[in-house]
Structure 1
Amino acid sequence: MSATKLFAILLCFAVIGAVAPLQSEAPKDSLFGVNTVILITLLAIPFVFCFLHSNNELVTSDNKAVVITGCDSGFGHSLATRLHKLGYTVYACCLFSKQHGADELRKLGESRMHVLQVDVTNEEEIRDATEYVKSTLGDTQLWALVNNAGIASYAEIEWCSVNVFQKIMDVNVIGVVRMTKSFLPLLRASKGRVVNVASLSGRYTLPAFAAYSMSKVACIAFSDGLRQEMCKFGIKVITVEPGLYRTPIAVQMMADSKKRWNDTPTEIRDAYGEEYFAGFIDLLNFQMTRARENVEEVVDMMADAVTSTRPRIRYVPYWVTKLRSTILMLLPSGIRDKLFRLYSVRVEPKCMHNSP
C-alpha cells in the first residue's frame, strides 16, 4: 500500500476518533451528537474505499481491439491515439471519415488503426461498422466499446425547439443504445467492457442545459441497468462523467445558442428581449472562461476505464470537480436551485419590465 493511501486512511480514522468522544460530553441535540459522528463516518468511508480501490495494474493490449465513437476531435480523437500507442487495435468511428480528424488517425498506420464512417443515428452505418469489425478482427478480440459521440445545446427551454431535444436524445442516448446492442455479442465473447461518456450534467441540471442534462441522465440510467444485466457475462460497464472542458463541442455552443435564438418565434423573443439574450451570451462567455483546458484529465480516465484490470464503476475527472459534485448532489433541491441561480442571467426579461 502506498504512503498516500495509508495517510488518507489514518487521517479518516483520526478525524472520526477525534470527534467520537465529543458525543458523550454534548447534549443529544448538539452539533457533536451521535448523528454527526455517523455522518462523518459515512463521508469518510467512500474516500477510503476510493484510495483502496485505485489500481495501476493494466491488462495486456495483445490481441485486443477497441471501438470508439466520436473520434473526429476532442476526447475520442485523443483516446484513439492513446490506445493505439499502447498497442491496441483501434476502430475509430468518425462522423466525417473524410475530413482532417479522421485523416490524422489514418496516418498512425492502417495495421492497427481502422477509421470507420459511423453516424450513431444511422443504423445502416452501425451495421456496416459491426460487420467490418467482425471481418477484420482475426485472432484479435473486441475488448471495449467506448460510446463517446455526443452533441450539446446551450439554450433556455423556450427557445430550444423540440427537434433539438429529439436530436440530442437520438445521438446521446439512442446512439449509445444502438452501438451497445450491436457490439455486445463480441464483448460477451471477450468478457470485455462498455465505457459510456456521460457528464456531471446527468447528476444535476444547470439553467439552459435541460436538453443536454436529460440525455446524460438517460445515459447514466442506461449504464446502470446495463451494468447489472451484463455482470452475469463478466462484462463491465463504466461511466466517465466530466464537467465542462474546452472541447470542440463546448466551443460550438456559442454559435449554436445564437442559432437557437434566431430560430425562436418572434413572440417568445419579444418576451425575453434582445438585452436579455445579450446577458445570456455574456453568461455563456463567462462559463467558457471556467471550462478546464486540460482535456487529457478526461482521456486519462477513459484510458484507465479501458486498460485497468479493476476499473471503477464511475469516473469523475479532477478531484475538485468530484468533491464539488458530491456536495451538490447531497444538497436539498431548494438550496441547490438557489446556488444555481447565481449562474443565471442577471438581466430581467423584457416582458417583466411593466409587470406589477
Structure 2
Amino acid sequence: MKSMILGCLGVFSAVAFMFGCSYSALLGLVCTIIVFRFYKEKSAQVDPRNKAVFITGCDSGFGNQFARRLDEKGFTVFAGCLMPDREGARLLKEESSDRLHVVHVDVTDEWLVRGAVKYVKENLGDNELWAIVNNAGIAIFTEIEWCSVVQFQRILDVNVIGVVRVTKAFLPLIRNSNGRIVNVASLAGRFTMPAFAAYSMSKRACIAFSDALRIEMKKFNVKVSTIEPSLYKTPISETKYLADQNRKSWSETPTEVKDAYGDEYFDAFLKNIDTQMQRAKSNISEVIDLMVESVLDEIPKVRYVPSSSIVRATILTFLPSYITDRLFQIYTPRVVPRQSTSSVSSASDNDVPS
C-alpha cells in the first residue's frame, strides 16, 4: 500500500508538470522523494555464498573500499588493479580474506582484459560470477580551450570504452548466472558544469550505454544499474594533482589561446577549481553503501544516488537550461579574460558600415 501511494503521488506530480503546473508539481515531486527517502521498503538481499564479483579500479578510492566491504560480506572478490605491485593493491590483498584475488587489469588494454577473464574463469571454483562493477575512472577538470584532444581521448578511453570493453568481455559469464552489471557513473553525467566537459561527456556516455544495455539484457534476466555520486574526496579530486594537470595543459596550449585568456585568468581558474574541490564530500562510505546495495539487492535499482544529493539532483532535472546556466556560472572565475573587452570593441567596429 505504501509503495502504491508513493507511486501515485510521483505519477501525479510528473503528469502535472508535463501539463504546465510546474511549481506545484516540482514541490510534489520533491515531497515524494523525501518521503520515499525515509520510508522506502528495503529490497530482499541475495546470499553472497558461492557468488563472485569482478571490480575494476581497486587500487584506491571507491573501488578499494568497495572490494573490502564485499569481502567482509562473504563474496569471492576479483579486485582489478592497474598497479598490482603498488601499496594500494598489496594492502588490499594482505588485509582481506583468502577469497579476495588481486587481478592485473588495464581497462584500455584488450589483452589484459582478456587475461582477467581467463583468470576469473580459472579461479571461480564452485562460484558463479554474480556481478561486474565498472568502477575504474579518471578525471580532468579544465576549460575546453586548453584541454587537448589527447586528454579528451584518454578520458573517454578509460571511462567509456573501458566500460564497454570489460562489460563485453565478461557478459557471457554474467548471462550464465543471470547476474548484474554495475557501472559507476556520476551526477556529472546528468549535469555539466564549467571545466567538467571531458569528464561529463564520459559519464553521460556511460549512462547512455547502461540504459541501452539494461533494456537489451532483460531477455536474459540480467540487471544493469548505475551509481551516480556527486563530488567526493578521492584521488581524482586531489587539488595538487588537478593543478599539476592544468599547468601542464596550459603550458602546451598555443600562445594565441593563452594570450586570449591571460595568466591572471588562468591563476584565478586554478584557485576556483581548488575551491570547488574543497567542497568535495569526505564521507565516501555513503557511496560504498550504495555500491554494496547494487550487488546485494535482489531487485536492484536502475539508478543509485546518495541521499544527500537526490533532492538537488531531481530539482536540477526539471529546471530550464537558462536557469541552470546561471546557477553553474557561479563556478567560473570572476576575472575577465584578457581578450574579452577587446573582442567586444572589435565587434562594434566591424558593425560600422564602410
TM-score under structure 1 length normalisation: 0.87
Residues 64-112 of structure 1: CA distance to partner in whole angstroms, max 9, x if unpaired? 0000000000000000010001111100001111100110111035631
1:134 aligns with 2:121: yes
Unaligned runs of 5+ in 1: 17-32
Any conservation in 2 of the 1:65–1:144 contact (CA below 8 Å)?
Answer: yes
Map 1:264-283; keep pairs closer than 5 Å: 264-283=253-272
User: For 1:344, what is the secondary structure of its paired residue?
Assistant: coil
For 2:319 and 2:31, the matched residues in 1 are separated by 17
Q: 1:277 to 1:41 in 2, by over 3 A?
A: closer
Q: 1:230 to 1:262 in 2, by over 3 A?
A: same
User: For 1:93, what is the secondary structure of its paired residue?
Assistant: strand
Identity %: 54
For 1:310 and 1:55, the matched residues in 2 are separated by 10
Query: How far off is 1:255 after superposition?
Result: 2.1
User: For 2:282, what is the secondary structure of its paired residue?
Assistant: coil
Partner in structure 2 of residue 311 of structure 1: 300
For 2:33 and 2:211, the matched residues in 1 are separated by 19
Partner in structure 2 of residue 176 of structure 1: 163
Map 1:117-128; keep pairs closer than 5 Å: 117-128=104-115
For 2:154 and 2:41, the matched residues in 1 are separated by 37
1:152 to 96, 119, 139: 139
Map 1:1-356; keep pairs closer than 5 Å: 41=28, 44=31, 54-109=41-96, 111-251=98-238, 252-319=241-308, 321-355=309-343, 356=345
For 2:188 and 2:23, the matched residues in 1 are separated by 30
Any conservation in 2 of the 1:55–1:310 contact (CA below 8 Å)?
Answer: no
Q: 1:328 to 1:36 in 2, by over 3 A?
A: closer
What do you get for the CA RMSD once the two structures are aligned?
2.4
Unaligned runs of 5+ in 2: 13-19, 346-354
User: For 1:343, what is the secondary structure of its paired residue?
Assistant: coil
Q: 1:110 to 1:40 in 2, by over 3 A?
A: closer
Tell me which amino acid in the other structure corresponds to 1:59.
V
User: For 2:330, what is the secondary structure of its paired residue?
Assistant: helix
TM-score under structure 2 length normalisation: 0.88
For 2:301 and 2:248, the matched residues in 1 are separated by 39
For 1:232 and 1:333, the matched residues in 2 are separated by 37
User: For 2:95, what is the secondary structure of its paired residue?
Assistant: coil
Query: How far off is 1:48 after superposition?
Result: 5.5
Any conservation in 1 of the 2:60–2:88 contact (CA below 8 Å)?
Answer: yes
For 2:21 and 2:145, the matched residues in 1 are separated by 48
For 1:86 and 1:298, the matched residues in 2 are separated by 16
Residues 24-82 of structure 1: CA distance to partner in whole angstroms, max 9, x if unpaired? xxxxxxxxx97766665555555566666542532111000000000000000000010
